[in-house]
Amino acid sequence: MRGWKRFLLGVLCVAVLAGGLAMAVSYGVYGRSLRASVYELRLRRRYATNRTAEEERQRLMDKLTAGEPTAALPENRVFRSEVSEAERDGLKVFTLEGGAGDGPLVLYLHGGAYINGFNAHQWRFMDDLAAASGGTVVAPAYHLAPFADYTRAYEDLPALWRALRAEHPGRRIILMGDSAGGGLALGLAEYLAAAGEPLPERLILFSPWVDVSMENPEIADYVPVDPILHLELVKVHGELWAGDGGTKHWQVSPLYGDMTGLPPVTIYCGTRELLYPDILLAAEKLRAAGVAVTLNVGRGLNHDYPLMPIPEGTRAVQEVCALVRGTD
C-alpha cells in the first residue's frame, strides 16, 4: 500500500507540475488562459480541411440543386430566454426575450462566411445576452450564398430595421453581429446613415469581416495561426456573396464605405485570426471619420473569441451585457 501511495503521489505531483507548466506557457507565450489554448486545439481539429478553392466553389454550387435550407431552432438546446420565430416578408426572424419586452433591443446578425446559418456558439451567446440583459434579441436568418447575394440582404434588413423601430418607438436599439454578420452590421449602419435614416444607439461587432476581398498583404502573416478561417476558401465565400457587385463594393466590404455619422462602435477581435489586419484598418477609418471606437484586442485569441466557452469570452460577454443594459 505504501508503494502505491508513493506512486499515486508521484503521479499527482507530475500532473500538477505539467498543468502548471502548460498554464505558464499559455499565459507567458500566448497571453491567454490555458482553456483558450486547449480550445484552439479543438478548433483546429473541427475546422481542418484540405479542400481547394475550386472544390469549395463546386461544393457550394451543388447546394443549389437541393434548394435553400430553412433555418430552424436547435433541437437539443434548453433556452433560458423565451424564444419564438416568425416570417416577415420572406425573412425568417427569431426573437429571444429575456425580460418584460421593454428593455434594450438587439438586432443581431450572425456570422458564417455568408454561406452558413446560426451555429451553437451564436445560439448560446444570444440566449445568454437576452437573459443577462433582460432585453430582446432579434436575429434574422438572412438569405445566404449561393442562393442569394448581398443585394437581397440590403432589401430585407433595412425593412426589418424600419419595422422594429415602428414597433418599438423610443426603445434603445443596438446593432450587433459577428464575423460576416459583423461586417453586414457595419454595412447596414453605413446604408442607414447614407439614407438619412435613424441609427442604432451603438454597434457591437465581434471579429467583423470588413473586406471580403482579403487582399491585404498583412493577412498572410496570420494564415498559420488562424485555426478557423482558411484564406482561399473564404475568398470564394466573399466572391459568391458579392455576386456582380464586386468584392470591394462598400455594401459587401464596408471598409470602403462612408463611416461619417455612425454611432459609437465597440469591436472585439483576436490576434490569431485572418481578419485582424483589416479590423485594425476599419478602426482607424472609423476614428478618422469622427466615430467613437472602442477596440478590444484579445492577445493570443481566435476569431469570434467572445462567443467561445473560455474565460476571456466570458469576460467579454459580461462587458457586452453591461453595454446593452447601459450600465458600463
Angstrom CA distances, 172 to 94, 164, 175, 221, 325, stand at 19, 11, 10, 40, 9
Query: Residue 8: pLDDT band by 50, 70, 90 thresholds?
Result: very low
Place of cell 498572410: 220
> What is the value of pTM for the model shown?
0.92
Q: Is the pLDDT score of 10 beyond 50?
A: no
* Average pLDDT of the segment spanning 186-213: 98
Angstrom CA distances, 194 to 82, 182, 282, 310, stand at 35, 18, 18, 38
C-alpha cell at 43: 478548433
DSSP string, 162-173: HHHHHHSTT--E
> What per-residue confidence (pLDDT) applies to 102?
84
Query: Residue 2: pLDDT band by 50, 70, 90 thresholds?
Result: low
> What per-residue confidence (pLDDT) applies to 85?
97
Q: Is the pLDDT score of 6 beyond 70?
A: no
Query: Residue 12: pLDDT band by 50, 70, 90 thresholds?
Result: very low
> What per-residue confidence (pLDDT) applies to 112?
98
In angstroms, the CA 97 to CA 33 distance is: 32
In angstroms, the CA 290 to CA 234 distance is: 31
Angstrom CA distances, 31 to 26, 34, 225, 262, stand at 6, 9, 14, 33
Q: Is the pLDDT score of 123 beyond 70?
A: yes
Q: Is the pLDDT score of 28 beyond 70?
A: no
Least confident of 13-27, 46-60, 156-170, 270-284: 13-27
Instruction: Please write the tens of the pLDDT for every residue from 253-265.
Output: 999 999 999 999 9
> What per-residue confidence (pLDDT) applies to 241?
98
Helix, strand, or coil here: 295? Answer: strand
Query: Residue 24: pLDDT band by 50, 70, 90 thresholds?
Result: very low
- What's the mean per-residue pLDDT of the chain? 92
Q: Is the pLDDT score of 143 beyond 50?
A: yes
* Residue 191: closest CA among 144, 106, 117, 249: 249
pLDDT-above-90 percentage for the chain: 88
C-alpha cell at 44: 483546429
Q: Is the pLDDT score of 288 beyond 90?
A: yes
Helix, strand, or coil here: 60? Answer: helix
Percent helix, percent strand, percent coil in the chain, to nearest 5: 50, 15, 35
